[in-house]
Structure 1
Amino acid sequence: MNFDRIKEKLSILADAAKYDVSCSSSGSKRTNTNKGLGDSSGMGICHSYTEDGRCVSLLKILLTNHCIFDCAYCVTRKSNDIKRAAFKVEEVVDLTMSFYRRNYIEGLFLSSGIFKSADFTMERLIRVAKKLRLEENFNGYIHLKSIPGASDELMREAGLYADRLSVNIEIPTKSGLKLLAPDKKHEDFMKPMEKVKNEIIQYKQEKKFIKSTPKYAPAGQSTQMIVGASGESDRDIMYSSAFFYKKYNMKRVYYSGYVPISDDPRLPALGSAVPMLRENRLYQTDWLMRFYGFDVRELLNQEHQHLDMEIDPKLSWALRNRDLFPIDINRVEKQILLRIPGIGLKSVNKIIQARKFRKLNWEHLKRIGVALNRAKYFIICDSREKELVEYSSDHLKNIIIKTSVSKFRKEISPQLSLFA
């Protein structure tokens, strides 16, 4: 093996993979059997953090950055003048096993540019996973990027060796995709998503009757959208996400702010990358849809097509619906508690348990962890900030922003003094 050449390939193809963010803690379980190597348990895989703060990692690379397509937003597009490289299947397997033995990684995230054809590329991605599972007896986490347009047969095989599969939708709308990636077809993204969804359902049903039925993509499937490359509103983006969650049972939709990489006239004239704050607001909205019982149309609609960058989407919704408040913290059910600004999932569960024993007051809520600088304006406990009831939503918004900034400065100043 030419180690210098392998090192050069790794540098090129690991750097090219950094634009793909569609990997995170998954909850997949693949028990180590037959004295094999690795063990993918529920602690999560990838450059992410577990609940206890532990960082988990994986080898995240492209099989190749050669590509037959010329998508305006993609750094690996065929017209881009960059250094190209490609791994052999055996090289990726050897790298994965070598890195794992050195305790550098806990799994593999493998994507690729499309060379020759979708099936040609997908077949090689599968060969990597298959060799790891069957020849190296590797039981760690494997996330394969599904190639748009790949055949049903290959998609079925991929799910037998990978923990998670993902097809990046890339651009949220059909019109945006047609403008920026005219060589690609929207249906080529949908077809593998549908196949994976149906296979997961079928294998789960068979498992009920035949215990020896193998697992199929036990961590499900995910997708990623590029934000800001084609001018879509936040409403367009989140409506697309809601569609994918409902239609294809997605585990996650990821949002990646567009990074200007060319002066292609089809792309927006951005002076810099899309602000991280916009990504953050989209993820907050996604969380509200998935775990807090919000319908996307409540958060974004014709009148409110963009998220408020100054405040989180739950607070924004509450300020637009002041007639639904105040809410009695000691009486309402869980789904109503989840809609109160400043109260998260853990706090809601603590409130429900605690109020079985006594009526809660402000001090109790503070100990539970409720963000009272926001919540107190929307709830009834043993009293309420009555003097603020008549304030307009805009005025109340400014008060909350001001108190939040003051609280942040108060909390951070002791830490900063350590470095003075």
Structure 2
Amino acid sequence: MGSIDGLTAEQKANLSSMGYAHTYMDMDGLNLTLLMAWPSDAEMRLDSQNALTEATELLRLLGIDGHAMLAKHVEPTPPKPPIVISRPPQTLVALSYLSTTRRFLAALPDSTDASLDILRSDIQSHLATTMTSANNDFSESEAIPSINEALVLVVKQGSRTAFAARSIRRHGRLSTILSNPKSPINEDNKPSLRDRLKAKLDALAPGFLPANKTTGAGRQVRHTGMFHSQEGGARAANKETVKKVAASNFLRLRGQALQGHMYLHESVCNANITPYNPLKAGHFLIAFHPHCGGMVIGEVITMYEKSTMHDWVSHIDNAGKPSYLYIMTYTGLTAKQFWLALLHDMLHVEVPDHFANPPNPHRLLPCIVYQQHLTQYLS
């Protein structure tokens, strides 16, 4: 590929990215001079005879006579060329009718800017009266940045395994979402982690049974003659308790964040990635926008798993399996924004920038970082 200084930012990233090294193939063994040489008639005839002999031997092993099959072969008839009907001669009556139609269309008044503004204002006023506004409107506080080659290079180099592991621990924390002032999750009256762990441990603490009680599993007779229930090691029990507390906290926060979006589906708060419901490219999911704040709906473009080579995967059946998810965000998830974005093409209404339609190409390579088109976010 030449000197590294003469490459673009995308080529530099491809050259130094570990995750895409297996997508290239070695072509040193190809003879380009031989490929450009056109075979002669004698060589074509010899190759055809060799191919016929080889195919005949293979068919003979299957019990099929190749020569008899060729003798019965009937070449298909080529399709007939389409019949082009010539245009009938024009008469004076037909020409005069066309001229009259053109004059009628030319006499119609043209649409002016004032009439279009009136029609646009009528549609917008009708939408304002029929659609109820939500509290967490999706709004961008910053303008869309221009393409930055240095930023593109940084994003591409982020596919390396060591950087991916660090970025998961950094961007995957719940504190990143909770620290955003536009987060839909309210944490004012949230109990502390210490209080929740203490309550959970108190509920799971083993108790002493009276001496006359012999029911229960895994009991151990002490010197005092008391029966003590023992379910496992203290470290394993504490780890399991922390997992259950974190899982219940996640379900509580997810239900609180998606409570106002039940118009999409009545079970939107219980959606999950399972082997029966895997996540694939082209599926839509709901995520929290890390830059602008607010819930957005987006399409999954591609996924990479947590492996040594950071390989691409076609689907995932566990939320902890992928290391990166590239999501193309479409629009905000409030009721007004969602339905207005769907009706944008039909009504031709001027809407704000964050109601823009999804772009036609999926700009994944190069990874151009637009705030509302391509967002690197871990769900």
Pair in the same fold by TM > 0.5: no
Q: Which structure would you say has the larger Rg? A: 2
The TM-score bracket by the shorter chain reads: under 0.3
